[in-house]
Amino acid sequence: MKKIVIEGGKSLRGIVKISGAKNAALPAIAACILTGGRQKIHRIPSLRDIMTIKAIMSSMGAVFQDNNDNSLSVNTENIFEHEASYDLVKTMRASILLLGPLLARLGKARISLPGGCAIGARPVNLHLKALSAMGVDMHLEHGYINAEVKRLKGANVFFDTPTVTGTENIMMAAVTAEGRTVLNNAAKEPEIIDLADMLRKMGAEIKGDGTDTIIVEGVKELRPAEHAIIPDRIEAGTFMIASAMTQGDITIQDCRPDHLYAVIEKLRSVGAEIEHTEDIIHIKGPKIINSADITTMPFPGFPTDLQAQFMTLMCIANGSSIIEETIFENRFIHVSELERMGADITINVNQALVRGREKLLAAPVMATDLRASASLILAGLVAVDGKTEVNRIYHLDRGYEALEEKFRALGANIRREDA
Ligand code: EPU
């Protein structure tokens, strides 16, 4: 077990390059099941979640080759197994993304039902309801979803609430289904558009991605393609918040400011100076951080995946702020750890009242989820009076590529040690 040790107080300066988006890479890799043959996906981040989906798909017959230019070659000629076991699915809920592609390719799938996780119950009922509407026969047995279908049929699908992986799963199921599928109240996240772009390169007919109505006309078959994943907007947002917290002056390269407008506006309102081109953001942190409220929303609103990091910024703001979480019911687990560092936060159901303090104090802390870990690292970057130790960093390694190395290159005093 490793931990991350930080001596706070350094102002971050320099250039950082953003990696490919975890949440776009996972569905892109799953989409390779839809056709046999060799595909190539560029800008694959080196992360534990990526290793997990590769391990599950390898057990199904996929063959992967990591190339030294961050690209991944995928050969899915020979997919013979349709089961994703509890042992692997329990470590990564996104394994549910294999359900749609397996049904499209093999007409059957057996996937362990992901349980709840640290941030909430996270049901997959909307994925299952939509697949039923497409003709899939489904039953739950011993904790597994057993699904079978002769030929997927296009359907008019309505999501009660926009679901990111649900929209991705149904888009993948629909591309070779018989007839037209309409996804109503679909998620609009950039990762959805990226998947649709890849599927179109493979020959799919998809329109409306990026809006709440996506129309997929089923085609007979797909062909292998080559695709580059979009940059990780949550990683970029995390570095922006780090610069805002540390009176930093950093240039974020290889990013997509158009995926981050809600975050850019919010950080401007707290006093950060931000300029951007199409793929570069330059951000200077203010001397005094103004307080600002946020409410997490589906895209293009403020992302839930940056809520914990923004809360850490508000812990040292001048004044009080209200952070409202509307996507997940239990996404305030970082609060009790931030309190151990001197933060003043009161939770009322899904709202947190954060009273800004002049400083945070270094302390040993531990995280129970990926984005909570990032928020504790940010807290460590500004904490004074000693060393902050962030434990259980395997959460961090699920979704941030070389985070401490990137922070170190910006001047932070941060290192990984044996716990
Ligand atoms: N929901 C249902 N039923 C469903 C599916 C979702 O009620 O069948 C609810 C959820 O409980 C939640 C809301 O719908 O309240 C939205 O959840 P969504 O399905 O959009 O979340 P997800 O697809 O499971 C993805 C990301 C998450 C990110 C959320 C929201 C991936 C692999 N994961 O999860 O990323 O927080 O969308 O943007 O794309 C992370 O990277 O740290 C992370 C948790």
Q: What is the pLDDT of residues 47-89, one digit of tens each?
A: 999 999 999 999 999 999 999 999 999 999 999 999 998 888 8
- What is the maximal distance between C-alpha atoms in the chain? 64
User: Each residue of 85-111: pLDDT tens digit?
Assistant: 888 888 888 999 999 999 999 999 999
pTM across the whole model? 0.98
- Residue 119: pLDDT band by 50, 70, 90 thresholds? confident
Question: In this structure, what token pair is assigned to residue 284?
Answer: 């200077």
Percent of the chain with pLDDT over 90: 92
Asked whether residue 114 carries a pLDDT value surpassing 90, the answer given is no
CB atoms within 10 A of CB 150: 9
Q: What is the mean pLDDT of residues 266-273?
A: 98
pLDDT at 115: 67
| pLDDT confidence tier of residue 116, bands split at 50, 70 and 90 | low
**Are 185 and 156 within 8 A, CB to CB?**
no
- CA 350, 352, 354: angle at the middle one, nearest 5? 170
Q: Does residue 117 have an active-site annotation?
A: yes
Confidence (pLDDT) at 109: 97
**How far away, in angstroms, is 413 Cα from ligand 1 center?**
34
Pocket of ligand 1 (CB under 6 A): 23, 26, 94, 120, 122-127, 161, 163-166, 187, 304-305, 327-328, 370-371, 399
Indicate the average pLDDT of the chain: 96
The angle at the Cα of 314, spanning 359 to 255, to the nearest 5 degrees, equals 115
Catalytic residue among 32, 117, 255, 315: 117
Measured by CA distance, the residue closest to atom 17 of ligand 1 is 163
Q: For atom 29 of ligand 1, which residue has the closest CA?
A: 164
What is the distance between the alpha carbons of residues 81 and 258, in angstroms, rounded to a whole number? 40
Q: What is the DSSP letter of 229?
A: P
For residues 232 and 19, is the Cβ–Cβ distance under 8 A?
A: yes
pLDDT at 176 over 90: yes
Q: Which ligand 1 atom is at minimum distance from the Cα of 168?
A: 23
More confident residue, 218 or 115: 218
**162 Cα: distance to centroid of ligand 1 (angstroms):** 9
CA of residue 137 to ligand 1 center, whole Å? 24
For residue 270, pLDDT beyond 70:
yes
